[in-house]
Amino acid sequence: MNQKPFVAIVMGSDSDLPVMQVTLDTLNALEVAHEVRITSAHRTPERTHAYIHDAESRGAAVFIAAAGMAAHLAGTVAGITCKPVIGIPMESGPLKGADALYSTVQMPGGVPVACVTIGKAGAKNAALLAAQILSISDEALAGRIKADRQAQAEAVMAKDNALQEQLNR
Ligand code: RP5
């Protein structure tokens, strides 16, 4: 089999999409192949199971799972595949993501989930982390990730230069 590795993204609800758009945008900017599905660990358990198996058979190399409240989607995915799973706690419900954070990060030993920050920062970091995993065997992608880091550094330096100019006026 010689499939191009891709990132498979699942989210528990369409209400997660506005935040998850950041993941899609970040992967698009880095030219990382990906696909996305709405599927829930508790509302569509069989579909979730079938999709993870299907995606893995087609070359999914990293999974990203986003869910809110009693968030068990990332842990469910990690129980189905041995590929790396990144979990994003969604900022939904009365506890504003604290419940999802604990649910996602507190996996019992043996079945890991790499949990990122609640909300949009996590959505961005999940994409970057997935890209970094794929870049281990993709030099061109590693170069694009380094260029992104460099752009971030240059933006900070430009802001500091502007601040110093303002202070010395
Ligand atoms: C989770 O419950 C979803 O991931 C979402 O973050 C949260 C609320 O879902 P909806 O009631 O908006 O569909 O399953």
Query: What pLDDT does residue 1 have?
Result: 47
Domain count, the chain: 2
Statement to judge: residues 96 and 78 lie in one domain: yes
CA distance 8 to 11: 10
Q: Give the mean pLDDT per block of 10 residues along the chain (169 residues).
A: 85 98 98 98 98 98 98 98 98 96 98 97 98 98 98 98 96
Atom of ligand 1 nearest to the CA of 15: 12
Query: What pLDDT does residue 58 have?
Result: 98
The answer as to whether 103 is a domain residue is yes
CA distance 98 to 76: 19
Query: What pLDDT does residue 144 have?
Result: 98
Query: What pLDDT does residue 34 have?
Result: 98
CA distance 110 to 101: 19
Q: Token digits for 113? A: 């989930």
Residue whose entry in the numeric block shows the structure tokens 């945008």: 25
Alpha helix (H) ranges present in the chain?
Answer: 17-29, 45-57, 73-80, 98-105, 120-135, 139-167
Residues with CB under 6 A from ligand 1: 12-13, 15-16, 40, 67-69, 90, 92
Query: What pLDDT does residue 2 have?
Result: 52
Q: Which domain holds residue 167?
A: 139-169
Q: Which residue's alpha carbon is nearest to atom 8 within ligand 1?
A: 68
Q: Is the pTM of this model over 0.85?
A: yes
Atom of ligand 1 nearest to the CA of 14: 13
Statement to judge: residues 23 and 95 lie in one domain: yes
Query: What pLDDT does residue 28 have?
Result: 98
Statement to judge: residues 132 and 165 lie in one domain: no
CA of 69 to the centre of ligand 1 (A): 7
Q: Token digits for 133? A: 């995993």
Statement to judge: residues 132 and 168 lie in one domain: no
Statement to judge: residues 97 and 27 lie in one domain: yes
Statement to judge: residues 79 and 147 lie in one domain: no
Task: Give the CATH number, domain containing residue 44.
Answer: 3.40.50.1970
Whether 135 contacts 102, CB under 8 Å? no
Query: What pLDDT does residue 169 have?
Result: 86
